[in-house]
Structure 1
Amino acid sequence: MSLRRIGIALASLALLGVATPPPAQAAAAVPAFDHIVLVMFENKSAWQLTSSSSPYFTSLAGQGAKFTQSYAITHPSQPNYIALFSGGTQGVTNDDCPKNFTGDNLGNQLISSGLSFKGYSEAMPSDGYTGCSSGTYRRKHNSWVDFSNVPASSNVTFASFPSDYSKLPTVSFVSPDMCNDMHDCSIGTGDAWLKNKLDGYAQWAKTHNSLLIVTFDEDNYLALNRVYTFFVGAHVKPGSYSSKITHYTVLRTIETAYGLPALGGAANVSPITDVWQ
Structure 2
Amino acid sequence: MFVKRIAVATVAAAGIAAAVVATNADAGISVTPVAASVPAFDHIVLVMFENKKYSSINGSSSASYFNQLAAKSAKFTKSFAVTHPSQPNYVALFSGSTQGVDDDACPMNLGAKANLATQLAGIGKTFTGYSEAMPSDGYTGCSSGTYKRKHNSWVDFSNVPSSSNRRFSSFPSDFTKLPDVAFVTPDMCNDMHDCSIGTGDAWLKKHLDAYATWAKTHNSLLIVTFDEDSNTSVNQIFTTFTGAHVKTGSYSESINHYTVLRTIEAAHGLPGIGNAAQKSPILDVWQ
Q: Matches of 1:174 and 1:28 in 2, distance apart? A: 29
Deviation string for 1:59-102 (max 9, x for gaps)?
A: 00111100000000000000000000000000000000011112
Map 1:177-216 onto structure 2 (within 5 A): 177-216=187-226
Residue in structure 2 matching 1:258, options 265, 268, 277? 268
TM (norm. structure 1) is 0.90
Residue in structure 2 matching 1:46, options 50, 54, 70? 54
Q: Matches of 1:116 and 1:62 in 2, distance apart? A: 30
Q: Would you say the 8 A contact 2:35–2:286 is kept in 1?
A: no
Residue in structure 1 matching 2:231, options 211, 221, 224? 221
Shift of 1:56: 0.3
Map 1:55-204 onto structure 2 (within 5 A): 55-101=64-110, 102-204=112-214
Shift of 1:113: 1.1
1:244 corresponds to: 254
Q: Which has the higher helix share?
A: 1
Q: Matches of 1:273 and 1:159 in 2, distance apart? A: 33
Q: Would you say the 8 A contact 2:172–2:178 is kept in 1?
A: yes
Deviation string for 1:98-149 (max 9, x for gaps)?
A: 1111200001111121000000000000000000000000000000000011
Between the aligned residues of both structures, percent identity stands at 71
SS in 1 for 2:101: coil
Q: Would you say the 8 A contact 2:132–2:167 is kept in 1?
A: yes
Q: Matches of 2:271 and 2:211 in 1, distance apart? A: 28
Q: Matches of 2:211 and 2:72 in 1, distance apart? A: 14
Shift of 1:197: 0.4
TM (norm. structure 2) is 0.87
SS in 2 for 1:228: strand
Q: Would you say the 8 A contact 1:28–1:274 is kept in 2?
A: no
* 1:29 partner amino acid: S
* 1:38 partner amino acid: L
Residue in structure 2 matching 1:36, options 39, 44, 52? 44
2:278 corresponds to: 268
Q: Which has the higher strand share?
A: 2
SS in 2 for 1:69: strand
How many corresponding residue pairs? 253
Q: Matches of 1:103 and 1:51 in 2, distance apart? A: 39
* Bigger Cα Rg: 1
Shift of 1:159: 0.2
Q: Would you say the 8 A contact 1:46–1:228 is kept in 2?
A: yes
Q: Would you say the 8 A contact 2:34–2:286 is kept in 1?
A: no
SS in 2 for 1:57: helix
- Greater shift, 47-56 or 66-75, is seen at 47-56
- Greater shift, 180-189 or 94-103, is seen at 94-103
SS in 1 for 2:61: coil
Q: Would you say the 8 A contact 2:191–2:200 is kept in 1?
A: yes
Deviation string for 1:133-171 (max 9, x for gaps)?
A: 000000000000000110000000000000000000000
Shift of 1:27: 5.3
* 2:224 partner amino acid: V
2:30 corresponds to: none
* 1:112 partner amino acid: G
Deviation string for 1:209-242 (max 9, x for gaps)?
A: 0000000000000000000000000000000000
Map 1:12-23 onto structure 2 (within 5 A): none
